[in-house]
A and B are shown apart, each in its own frame.
Chain A
Amino acid sequence: MSEQVNTAQQFPGQVHDLPGGGIVLSKLDDVINWARSNSLWPLTFATSCCGIEMMATASAKYDFSRFGFEVARATPRQADVIIIAGTIVNKMAPVLKRLYDQMADPKYVIAMGACAISGGPFFYNTYSVVKGADHVIPVDVYVAGCPPRPEALLHALISLQEKIKMGMTREQIRTGKE
């Protein structure tokens, strides 16, 4: 197993220190992705019990602002990442799609917990639950758990940052092709 490296502070490029200053060599895309990944504002979107774990992750003990998930925004216009924390029912699906459409580019999606991944405990015998939020919007990171612990959500958020730095999120791939 490879060792986890904190890439948050690592600058994507070369820094040459010279007397009286220095020279920085890098690609603009890499610098932009580096900047974006370290300032991701999540949308407050909790539809069931996973939301409680998301609140715990946001509050003092786990405190996801340490990693740049500074403030949870209550409007999609100001949010960069939507954490789907909970069950998506058929009636909620158009609302989720609309929220996603209202978010400004670039935008990222995390599916938190079994319900958002596959419908979870409601996979069988249901008349109302969407079997996975990725039937509605594209998902970048899936977090397993029912609900996942705050550590798991933090790991997912850090994984998302790595993905953004590599330019491998769904949106980056889609816009790169155009």
Chain B
Amino acid sequence: MLTNEQIKNKLIEKFGDVLTDFSEPYGMLTFEAPKDLNLKVMQFLYDDAELGFQFLTDLQAVHYPHDKGRELAVVYHLHNLKDNVRIRFKVFTSIEQPDVFTATKLYEAANWMERETYDFFGVNFIGHPNLKRVLNVDEMDYFPMRKEFPLEDQTRVDKDDEMFGRGGSFN
């Protein structure tokens, strides 16, 4: 049976201290990798006989507008179907040059997921066979899930913050 400790030790043995921020929120091993190593890390997790993370559960991005130089995080969720173990790792990239290597050569499932991530966050997946919008209209000229677009119209007066648990007398 594969434990988080074993996975972590194997990764550190292979990659040394370039992998950082190991943590286990809700028991799921999570770490950060340098963005130019994302394919090497995934290839190792995929190929290693004991690790065998051969299923890409999900792939998405997060926008941290105040984290200069590393505004966009791409998050990979991998699954070892044999031992039923899941892990998660992130790579960070600047928003001025959001280039990340594509995972499509390793996981077929990454194709549409990377298109979706490009569609909403503008992450440029280098080497993707067909990187164009998948859900929004092709004419759209912005990336709607980035945080420069406010969640709600700031000019609205009909929604009382107090009724939505964010401010007012409930704080």
User: For the complex, what is the distance from the CA of A125 to the CA of B154, rounded to whole Å?
Assistant: 10
Q: Is B49 an interface residue (CB 8 A)?
A: no
Are A91 and B135 neighbours in the complex by a CB distance under 8 Å? yes
Q: Is B137 an interface residue (CB 8 A)?
A: yes
Q: Is B151 an interface residue (CB 8 A)?
A: yes
Are A124 and B144 neighbours in the complex by a CB distance under 8 Å? no
User: For the complex, what is the distance from the CA of A90 to the CA of B140, rounded to whole Å?
Assistant: 10
Are B156 and A127 neighbours in the complex by a CB distance under 8 Å? no
User: For the complex, what is the distance from the CA of A91 to the CA of B150, rounded to whole Å?
Assistant: 22
Q: Is A7 an interface residue (CB 8 A)?
A: no
User: For the complex, what is the distance from the CA of A125 to the CA of B149, rounded to whole Å?
Assistant: 9
User: For the complex, what is the distance from the CA of A127 to the CA of B139, rounded to whole Å?
Assistant: 12
Chain B residues within an 8 Å CB radius of A90: 136-137
User: For the complex, what is the distance from the CA of A91 to the CA of B136, rounded to whole Å?
Assistant: 6
Are A125 and B152 neighbours in the complex by a CB distance under 8 Å? yes
User: For the complex, what is the distance from the CA of A125 to the CA of B151, rounded to whole Å?
Assistant: 7
Q: Is A75 an interface residue (CB 8 A)?
A: no
Interface of B is mostly: loop
Are B136 and A124 neighbours in the complex by a CB distance under 8 Å? no
Q: Is A78 an interface residue (CB 8 A)?
A: no
Q: Is A59 an interface residue (CB 8 A)?
A: no
Q: How many A-B residue pairs have CB under 8 A?
A: 19
Are B137 and A124 neighbours in the complex by a CB distance under 8 Å? no
- Contact size range, B: 10 to 19
Are A124 and B152 neighbours in the complex by a CB distance under 8 Å? yes
Q: Is B153 an interface residue (CB 8 A)?
A: yes
In the complex, chain A residues 105-143 whose Cβ is within 8 Å of any chain B Cβ: 124-125, 127-128
Contacting B149 at CB < 8 Å: which of A124, A127, A128?
A: A127
In this complex, what residue of A is CB-closest to B159?
A124
Chain B 143-161, CB-CB to A under 8 Å as 1, else 0, gives: 0100001111100100000
User: For the complex, what is the distance from the CA of A99 to the CA of B151, rounded to whole Å?
Assistant: 33
CB distance from A47 to the nearest CB of B (A): 14
Are A127 and B153 neighbours in the complex by a CB distance under 8 Å? no
Chain B residues within an 8 Å CB radius of A125: 150-153
User: For the complex, what is the distance from the CA of A8 to the CA of B21, rounded to whole Å?
Assistant: 72
Are B156 and A124 neighbours in the complex by a CB distance under 8 Å? yes
Are A127 and B144 neighbours in the complex by a CB distance under 8 Å? yes
Are A91 and B156 neighbours in the complex by a CB distance under 8 Å? no
A: which residues have CB within 8 A of B? 90-91, 124-125, 127-128
Given A124-B152, A127-B149, 4 more A-B residue pairs with CB atoms under 8 Å apart are A124-B153, A125-B150, A125-B151, A125-B153
What are 17 A-B contacts defined by CB distance under 8 Å? A90-B136, A90-B137, A91-B135, A91-B136, A91-B137, A124-B152, A124-B153, A124-B156, A125-B151, A125-B152, A125-B153, A127-B136, A127-B140, A127-B144, A127-B149, A128-B136, A128-B137
